[in-house]
Structure 1
Amino acid sequence: MTPPPSRGLVGLGIGLAAAGVATAAGVAAGRVTRERTARLAVLAPAGAYAHVADRELAVVADDGVPLHVEVDDPADDAARKGAPTVVLSHGYTLSLRSWVLQRKALTRAGYRVVLWDQRSHGRSEVAASESCTIDQLGRDLHRVIEEVVPEGPLALIGHSMGGMTMMSMAEQFPEVVRERVVAAAFVATSAGGTNMMTLGFGQFVGRLLGRLGPRFLARMGTQQKLVNTARRLGRDVEDLIVDHYSFASPVAQHTVRYTGDMIMGTPLQVMADFLPSINVHDKQAALAQFHGVETLVVNGQQDLLTPPDHSEAIVRLVPGAEHVVVEDAGHIIMLEHPEVINEQLLELIDRGMRAATAHVDIERKPRVRRTVTDLSKRRRVAKARRSGRSA
C-alpha cells in the first residue's frame, strides 16, 4: 500500500533531517579527529599504552566464572620492603587496560601490582546475566585477593564501578579491610543512594534512562554484528561521543580510540546486564569499614557520569579522607591526566604505610580538599597547538 502523501513527506523530511544531522556530526567529528591526530599526538606517543604483564592467570569466582588476572612485579632493586600489594579494579565497560599508565608508575615505584578484568569485561568470561551485580563483583574481588594476594598489606584502588566493587567487598568481607588494607582510593566513583544514570541530563532524564536503558541495550545486543558494522562506518562520530563522555580536556586521538575500543568492545548485552545493579547501587553503609584506613577520593570537575557531588558524599562518610578535584577532567581521568593520578596514588600509599607504622589515628585527621590543575598538560597542549599553527 502506498502511504498518504503527507505521511510520505513527513517520513522523507525526518529521513533527510537525520541524514543532515549525521553528516554534520561526521564533518565536525572529522575536524576534531584531524586536530587530535596532527597536533595532540604528543600527549600519547607511540607505545605509551603498550605493556606486557609479568604473569597472567585465571581465578575462578565462587560461581565458577573464570576471571582474567595480571600481575606486575617490581625489579628487585626497586622493590619496597614491607610495601602493600596494589590491587586495581576497573570501571563499567572498561578493562584492566584502563590502568596501563598507573600500573607502570606503581611498578617503577617498587610496588607489586595486581589487576583483573571484572566478569564479562575484557578477557574474563562472559557470565550469566543474573550474576552481573555489584554484590557479585565484591565476591569476585575477594576471590582474586584470596588467590593472588593471600597475605600481607593491601592498597585497593577502584575506578567507577571498580570503586563500587571495593565497597561491596568491604560490606561482605569487612575483616579484609580492617586487618589488611592500609590505603584505599575511590576514583570517579559513587557510593550510590541516588539515581546513577544521569549522563549530565539531570535526575528526571536519568531515571528514564535507568528504566529504559537496559531494555534498549538488550534489544540492540541481538543485533551486535550490525552494531559492529555501524561502528566501523562511523568511527569519527563514535570518537566524538566517547570523547564527550570520557574527557574534559584535549587528548590524543590514540587515547580516544584506546578508550573507545574498550567501551565499545564490551558487548551491548553485558552493558544491559550490569545497568540495573548500578542504577540501584547503595553502599553508603559499607564505607564505615574504611574508617581508620588512609583514603583518597578523586574526581574530575567535569565528570558527567559520576559528578563531583558523588565524591563529596564519600568524603563525608569516611572521616579523614582526602578529596582531590582535578580541573578540566572527565570520567576516564586516569588516561586523561595520568601524571596527576599517578602522583596522588603514590602519595596515598606512602601516607598509608607511614600511618600503619606510626599507628596514626586517621579518623582524627582534618578533612583535606584540594583542587588540582594539570599545568604540565596545559603547557604541552598549548605548545602543540602553536607548533601546528606554525606548520
Structure 2
Amino acid sequence: MARSEHPRARTAGIIGGLVGLVAAGTAVGVGVSRAARRRVRAAELGPAADLPRMTEAELREDDPLGAASRAPDRTALVQADDGVLLAVEEIGPRDAPLTVVFVHGYTLSMASWTFQRRSLAATLATANGHRPDARLVFYDQRGHGASGRGAPERSTIEQLAKDLAAVLEARVPRGPVVLAGHSMGGMTIMGLASLAPELFGTRISAVALVSTSSGQLADLNFGLPELLTRVRAAVFPVAAWTMRRRPAFAERTRRVMADLVSAVTRSLSFASADVDPALVNYVDAMIAGTPVDVIAEFYPALAGLDETGSLVPLRRIPTLVMTGDKDKMIPMAHSELILEQLGGVENGLTEFMVVPDAGHLVLLEKPAEVCEAITGLLRRVAAESPAGAPGH
C-alpha cells in the first residue's frame, strides 16, 4: 500500500471502529434529537422543580408506542460524592413499605424502564385503589439522560456503585429495598455489593439482574465471525481514543452513519425480526443524548469488568437472574455463570429466567415477561410482611 493511502485507510478503520463501538454499546445517537438538546449537565441543573426531564412521550415525539409512562410524583437531584448531580424520579408514597430502585444500562437512561414503570405503577396498587404497596425510584446514571457528568477518570463501576449508594442514602433512608439492574445497571449493583456488602440482607432485600455480566466482556464477539472479531479488537481501542480526544469528529461520524449504526444496533439489541420500528426509534432517540466521549470513557470499565467476587453478598437474599435466549450483546452464558456463582437455584433463593426470542433489550422487547418476573420477586419479599404481597 502506498504511503499516501495510509491516512485514508487509518481514517476508514477509525470510522469503522466508531460505528462498531457505538453500536456495540447500543449508543445509537441518531442525529441531534430533542433528547440530546435537553441533556442537562451538572452546572446547568437548577432546583428539582425545574429539572428538565427526558420523558418517554418526548422521546417518542408523538408517542407512537402508546406507552407513555405515568408522570412522576416527585423529581429530585441527588449529589454524588464528587458533586455530580443525579436526576431522580419517583412514583408512589414516601412511606410505602417497600422501595424498588431501577438502574439502567450503558448509553441508555431511566426511560429504558418505560414499560415496567407504567405496568408496575398500576400492578402495585392495591385492589381497592388505595395506597400502593411499593414506591418506584428511577434515576439516570452519571453522563446519561438528565444527570450530570463527572471527570473522565470517574467513569468506573466503583463510582457508579457509589452513586447508587448516594441515591439510596438520599431517597431511601429507611425501609427494605429491591434493586433491579439492566446490563451496566446490574454491574452497578454488583459494584455496590463489593463496596457495601453489609447492605445486602439488611437494607437490600432482593435483587434483579437483567441481561448483565460479572466479567469477561472484552471477549464478547457480538455474534460476529472470528475474523471480524479480531478486527474489532484491533480498531476499538483506536475508536475509543478518537471518541475521547476528538468527540466532534466522532459525533459527526455517528450522524453521517446513522442508518448503518441503527441497523447494527437493532440486530444486536433485539431478537425479533419484526420488531416495531417505533421501538427502534425510541431506543435511537433515548441514547442520542449520550455523548460519544462518555461512551468511550465507560468502555474500559466494562471491558475490564471483574465482579465475580461481588456476588457473594447476593447469596443471602432472593435474586432474580434474567436473560434473553438470543442476547448477542451479553450472551446467556454470562447469566448462567452468575447463576453458578450464586449457588444455583438449589439454594432456594436464586431464580433463573430465560425469555424466549429476546435480545439484550429484553425489558423493551418482552416487557410483560420482565414485569411479571419483577412482580414475582416483589411478592416474595413482601409476603414476609403482614401487609401482604404487592399486587394482591
Give TM-score scaled by structure 2 length.
0.73
Match among 157, 160, 166 for residue 189 of structure 2? 166
Taking the aligned partners of 1:287 and 1:232, their CA distance within structure 2 comes to: 39
Taking the aligned partners of 2:267 and 2:306, their CA distance within structure 1 comes to: 27
The structural deviation recorded for 1:351 is 1.4
Is it true that 1:338 corresponds to 2:371 in the alignment?
no
Is it true that 1:71 corresponds to 2:90 in the alignment?
yes
C-alpha offsets along residues 195-219 of structure 1, whole Å, 9 cap, x if unaligned? 3543223789668746752441331
C-alpha offsets along residues 33-91 of structure 1, whole Å, 9 cap, x if unaligned? xxxxxxxx9xx8543145532211111111111111111116xxxx9963x20000000
Taking the aligned partners of 2:275 and 2:169, their CA distance within structure 1 comes to: 38
The structural deviation recorded for 1:223 is 4.9
The structural deviation recorded for 1:222 is 5.0
Taking the aligned partners of 1:130 and 1:315, their CA distance within structure 2 comes to: 31
Taking the aligned partners of 1:196 and 1:171, their CA distance within structure 2 comes to: 23
Is it true that 1:263 corresponds to 2:287 in the alignment?
yes
Q: Which runs of 5+ in 2 are unaligned?
A: 16-59, 125-131, 387-392
Taking the aligned partners of 1:332 and 1:355, their CA distance within structure 2 comes to: 32
- Distance verdict in 2 for CA 1:203–1:87, change over 3 Å: farther
Q: In 1, are the aligned partners of 2:65 and 2:279 still within 8 Å (CA)?
A: no
Is it true that 1:313 corresponds to 2:337 in the alignment?
yes
Deviates more, 1:178-187 or 1:134-143: 178-187
Match among 276, 295, 299 for residue 300 of structure 2? 276
> The residue matched to 2:82 in structure 1 has which SS?
coil
Taking the aligned partners of 1:126 and 1:197, their CA distance within structure 2 comes to: 28
Is it true that 1:142 corresponds to 2:165 in the alignment?
yes
- Distance verdict in 2 for CA 1:269–1:233, change over 3 Å: closer
2:354 is matched with 325
C-alpha offsets along residues 88-147 of structure 1, whole Å, 9 cap, x if unaligned? 000011111101111122221232111111111111112111000001111110000000
Is it true that 1:62 corresponds to 2:81 in the alignment?
yes
> The residue matched to 1:342 in structure 2 has which SS?
helix
- Distance verdict in 2 for CA 1:277–1:150, change over 3 Å: same
Taking the aligned partners of 1:219 and 1:98, their CA distance within structure 2 comes to: 27
Q: In 1, are the aligned partners of 2:90 and 2:138 still within 8 Å (CA)?
A: yes
Q: In 2, are the aligned partners of 1:134 and 1:165 still within 8 Å (CA)?
A: yes
For residue 93 of structure 1, what is the amino acid of its counterpart?
T
Taking the aligned partners of 1:80 and 1:254, their CA distance within structure 2 comes to: 37
> The residue matched to 1:113 in structure 2 has which SS?
strand
> The residue matched to 1:291 in structure 2 has which SS?
helix
Between structure 1 and structure 2, the one with the greater Rg is 1
Taking the aligned partners of 1:60 and 1:281, their CA distance within structure 2 comes to: 25
The sequence identity of aligned pairs, in percent, is 38
Q: In 1, are the aligned partners of 2:262 and 2:284 still within 8 Å (CA)?
A: yes
Q: In 2, are the aligned partners of 1:315 and 1:323 still within 8 Å (CA)?
A: yes
2:113 is matched with 99
> The residue matched to 1:302 in structure 2 has which SS?
coil
Q: Which runs of 5+ in 1 are unaligned?
A: 19-40, 358-391
Superposition pairs of residues 268-307 of structure 1, within 5 angstroms:
268-307=292-331
- Distance verdict in 2 for CA 1:201–1:234, change over 3 Å: closer
Superposition pairs of residues 240-259 of structure 1, within 5 angstroms:
240-249=263-272, 250-259=274-283
Q: Which runs of 4+ in 1 moved over 4 A?
A: 202-212, 221-235
Give TM-score scaled by structure 1 length.
0.74
> The residue matched to 2:316 in structure 1 has which SS?
coil
> The residue matched to 2:353 in structure 1 has which SS?
strand
Taking the aligned partners of 1:72 and 1:59, their CA distance within structure 2 comes to: 16
For residue 71 of structure 1, what is the amino acid of its counterpart?
E
> The residue matched to 2:300 in structure 1 has which SS?
helix
For residue 68 of structure 1, what is the amino acid of its counterpart?
A
Match among 118, 121, 125 for residue 141 of structure 2? 118
- Distance verdict in 2 for CA 1:265–1:211, change over 3 Å: farther
2:211 is matched with 188
Taking the aligned partners of 2:158 and 2:264, their CA distance within structure 1 comes to: 30
2:101 is matched with 87
2:30 is matched with none
* Higher RCO, Cα 8 Å, sep 6+: 2
- Distance verdict in 2 for CA 1:353–1:130, change over 3 Å: same
Q: In 2, are the aligned partners of 1:102 and 1:338 still within 8 Å (CA)?
A: yes
Q: In 1, are the aligned partners of 2:69 and 2:118 still within 8 Å (CA)?
A: no
Q: In 2, are the aligned partners of 1:87 and 1:155 still within 8 Å (CA)?
A: yes
- Distance verdict in 2 for CA 1:202–1:239, change over 3 Å: closer
Query: How many residues are matched?
Result: 321
Is it true that 1:133 corresponds to 2:156 in the alignment?
yes
